[in-house]
């Protein structure tokens, strides 16, 4: 057993180099703190290597395929031949590779002490990696999450999680997607564009069940049009695979058959077996519990990212990592407001939201104190040019600020930037209505929705 320099006590020791961990490391180092970052696999974590980036590359390839397929609609003669998965994977891996190299450069330029290996919390301020002990005045737990399965559903062969689905060498002819949440609908969208028959099975009554019901309804309508089948409000009961395919049984007694089954039923915290509980850290169903300053109950131990209950999103991890670094440096940053974190599902059409849903707003402010407005993208020039359908829905407190923005349509994820400023700065629709939005942009739909809610609609009925 050795120590990292005799008696050396670092300012911060971070366990896990994903979005949350590396953001904490970079910010802590900017603030002049002495940082150790421990990562057992690759810096960048799930988001860069198995999550956000590869899925969005696949979704872009899917959009290119659809553009080729639908080109005649725009008067362009092109034809869609086939998907070359090795080619798609090369493009995807190229994007990951460049970002990975850039991130490694940032970590090394930040003079963070980077240690490769599996770390374990052996005492409140001490993490051990391959026989070496690192002591920190502060420890940040950032070990992320893994793809969950269901009891009796073993991953392997034709039954895959997103980890394997990202690296297929051919397009399956048919796929069953178990789970209609973000990851499930994104893969369903990709495979449909690649030419597969896709059926989504979701136990809750609607797709993307965490979103405002209006968004689920619009997405379901669009998926139906695209030929993506879905069974909602129905539970899975078992799956059997053989050489030819996989058969999925539902509690209704129905069975479905396909080449592949994607299990996308959520992500569990990766917080077991690293000594957290033994060190006295409070946990709940595997998640690490923190207060709003991201402190665990053990002095000097913080937690960030997917192991902390809440939205499992990379930008939440970044923000929490930065927060903790600033907290440790004594800057007393303002706590993050979870509902103000933007959420984007990048399927076609995209779903984007920030703030409260209509139901949440009514619960918090009372039925009489909430107003909503839905602007249909049919009235938006740029959306017509792109041939996309959808809406911008605003939820406001009566005579008060905008509480939530909910959108469906191609590329609406790009509108979440302005939406989150509006919600988080608690802007009134009347204030946003004074701001000029460029024509013709999809962004204009956001401006038009605020004009309408302020009582002066332009390209919309009152």
Binder of ligand FAD out of 33, 47, 263, 347 (CB under 6 A): 47
* Number of residues in contact with ligand FAD under rule CB under 6 A: 37
Residue 196 in contact with residue 170, Cβ under 8 Å?
no
Out of 144, 172, 269, 390, the residue judged to bind ligand FAD by CB under 6 A:
144
Nearer to ligand FAD, 123 or 234 (CB): 123
Least spacing, CB of residue 26 vs ligand FAD, in Å: 13
Q: Which of residues 396-435 bind ligand FAD (CB under 6 A)?
A: none
The binder of ligand FAD chosen from 29, 55, 189, 419 (CB under 6 A): 55
Could you give the CA distance from residue 59 to residue 185 in angstroms, rounded to a whole number? Answer: 11
d(CA 431, CA 413): 23
Tell me if 190 sits within 8 A of 62, measured CB to CB.
yes
Residue of 248, 314, 407, 427 that binds ligand FAD (CB under 6 A):
314
Report helix, strand or coil for 172: coil
Applying CB under 6 A, among 41, 93, 426, 430 the residue interacting with ligand FAD is 41
DSSP letter at 276?
T
Catalytic, 437? Answer no
Q: Which of 439, 450, 459, 461 is catalytic?
A: 439
Stretch that binds ligand FAD, among 29-37, 46-54, 207-215, 281-289 (CB under 6 A): 46-54
- Tokens coding 229: 């089948």
Among 4, 19, 135, 442, binds ligand FAD (CB under 6 A): 19
Answer yes or no: are the C-beta atoms of 10 and 119 closer than 8 Å: no
What are the Cα distances from residue 130, in Å, to 127, 137, 437? 10, 21, 56
Instruction: List Cβ neighbours of 370 (8 Å cut-off, separation of 6 or more).
Output: 358, 361, 362, 395, 396, 397, 398, 403
Site string for ligand FAD, 235-274 (x = CB under 6 A): -----------------------------------x---x
| Residue 400 CB, nearest approach to ligand FAD (Å) | 29
Tell me how far, at minimum, the Cβ of 399 lies from ligand FAD, in Å: 34
Q: How far is the CB of 444 from ligand FAD (least distance, A)?
A: 25
The residue from 12, 15, 160, 171 that contacts ligand FAD (CB under 6 A) is: 15
Q: What is the DSSP letter of 295?
A: B
Listed ranges 59-67, 308-316, 365-373, 414-422: which one lies at the site for ligand FAD (CB under 6 A) = 308-316
Distances (CA, A) of 412 to 82, 194, 384: 28, 22, 13
DSSP-assigned states of every residue in 220-270: HHHHHHHT-EEEES--EEEEEE-SS-EEEEETTS-EEEESEEEE-S-EEE-
Q: Alpha-carbon Rg of the chain, whole angstroms?
A: 24
Nearer to ligand FAD, 31 or 122 (CB): 122
Rule CB under 6 A: choose which of 12, 13, 36, 38 binds ligand FAD: 38
Q: Choose the binding region for ligand FAD from 138-146, 168-176, 208-216, 328-336 (rule: CB under 6 A).
A: 138-146
DSSP class per residue in 84-108? -HHHHHHHHHHHHHHHHHHHHHHHH
Which of the residues are catalytic? 439
Per CB under 6 A, residues contacting ligand FAD are: 15-21, 38-41, 45-47, 50-52, 55-56, 118-119, 142-145, 162, 183, 270, 274, 305-306, 312-315, 317, 346
């Amino acid at each position: 057993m050795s120590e990292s320099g005799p008696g050396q006590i670092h300012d911060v020791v971070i366990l896990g180099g994903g979005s949350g961990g590396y953001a904490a490391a970079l910010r802590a180092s900017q603030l002049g703190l002495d940082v150790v970052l421990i990562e057992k696999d690759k810096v960048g974590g799930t988001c860069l290597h198995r999550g956000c980036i590869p899925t969005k590359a696949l979704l872009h390839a899917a959009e290119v395929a659809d553009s080729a397929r639908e080109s005649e609609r725009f008067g362009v003669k092109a034809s869609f031949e086939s998907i070359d998965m090795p080619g798609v994977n090369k493009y995807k891996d190229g994007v990951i590779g460049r970002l990975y190299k850039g991130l490694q450069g940032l970590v090394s330029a930040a003079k963070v002490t980077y240690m490769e290996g599996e770390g374990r919390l052996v005492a409140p301020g001490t993490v051990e990696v391959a026989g070496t002990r690192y002591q920190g005045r502060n420890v940040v737990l950032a070990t992320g999450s893994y793809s969950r399965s269901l009891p009796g559903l073993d991953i392997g062969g034709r039954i895959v999680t997103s980890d394997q689905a990202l690296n297929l060498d051919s397009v399956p002819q048919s796929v069953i997607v178990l789970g209609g949440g973000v990851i499930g609908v994104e893969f369903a969208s990709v495979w449909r564009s690649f030419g597969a028959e896709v059926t989504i099975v979701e136990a809750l009554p609607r797709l993307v069940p965490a979103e405002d019901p209006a968004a689920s309804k619009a997405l379901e309508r669009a998926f139906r049009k695209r030929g993506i089948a879905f069974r909602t409000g129905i539970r899975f009961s078992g799956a059997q695979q053989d050489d030819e395919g996989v058969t999925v049984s539902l509690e209704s007694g129905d069975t479905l058959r396909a080449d592949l089954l994607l299990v996308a039923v959520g992500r569990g915290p990766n917080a077991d077996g690293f000594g957290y509980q033994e060190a006295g850290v409070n946990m709940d169903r595997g998640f690490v519990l923190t207060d709003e300053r991201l402190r665990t109950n053990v002095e000097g131990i913080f937690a960030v990212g997917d192991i902390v209950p809440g939205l499992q999103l990379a930008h939440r991890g970044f923000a929490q990592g930065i927060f903790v670094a600033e907290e440790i440096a004594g800057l007393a940053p303002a706590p993050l407001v979870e509902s103000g974190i933007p959420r984007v599902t990048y399927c076609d059409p995209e779903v984007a939201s920030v703030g409260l849903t209509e139901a949440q707003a009514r619960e918090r402010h009372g039925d009489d104190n909430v107003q909503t407005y839905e602007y249909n993208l049919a009235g938006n020039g740029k959306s017509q040019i792109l041939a996309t359908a959808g809406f911008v829905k605003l939820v406001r407190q009566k005579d008060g600020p905008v509480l939530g923005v909910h959108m469906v349509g191609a590329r609406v994820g790009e509108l979440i930037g302005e939406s989150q400023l509006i919600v988080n700065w608690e802007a009134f629709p009347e204030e946003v209505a004074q701001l000029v939005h460029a024509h013709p942009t999809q962004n204009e739909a956001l401006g038009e929705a605020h004009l309408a809610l302020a009582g002066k609609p332009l390209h919309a009925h009152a």
